[in-house]
Amino acid sequence: MQIREAQVADIPQLSAIRLAVRENQLSDPGRVTRQDYVDYLTERGRGWLAEADGRVVGFAIADLQDHSVWALFVDPDYEGRGIGKKLHDELLSWYFRQTQHPIWLSTDPGTRAEEFYRRQGWQETGRTKSGEVLFELEAGWKAERA
């Protein structure tokens, strides 16, 4: 498996993974457009993808403007192989080289994603209006996971 920076040309593969996930599914797949991916990859932040077996199997995108994780998803056929953790770490390493501002994300409660973020040292800070768990992480996250 290799991790590399995601490019605009990768958007069809990223979108396919986003739509294939079993948890945190989009209630309206049309809500996330190609232009959203373009904006997050080129203007708002940066993204990375994981390739294995000659295909894209996961991706993560950081939003530097909103100080958040916009996306972190792994193809369901490749879950449990450490891909999400590698993407997570790549995203955070880049993010905290850009700023020391805490980063946040939200995810559905009771999911493997919620447990994943807790294991990585994210701290719950509340709930969104729709009931998702809000998490925050500060610079120095690696030391906290040790």
pLDDT tier at 27 (50, 70, 90 boundaries)? low
Q: Three-state SS for 111?
A: coil
Residues 54, 50: Cα–Cα separation, whole Å: 10
CATH number where 41 lies: 3.40.630.30
Digit-coded pLDDT (tens) for 117-137? 999 999 999 999 999 999 999
Task: Among 45-49, 101-105, 109-113, 141-145, name the one with the lowest average pLDDT.
Answer: 141-145
Amino acid at 14: L
Determine the structural domain holding residue 141 and report its residue range.
2-145
| Number of domain units in the chain | 1
Verdict on whether the full-model pTM lies above 0.75: yes
Residues 89, 3: Cα–Cα separation, whole Å: 11
In the chain the first and final C-alpha atoms are separated, in Å, by 24
Note the Cα 80 to chain centre separation in Å.
16
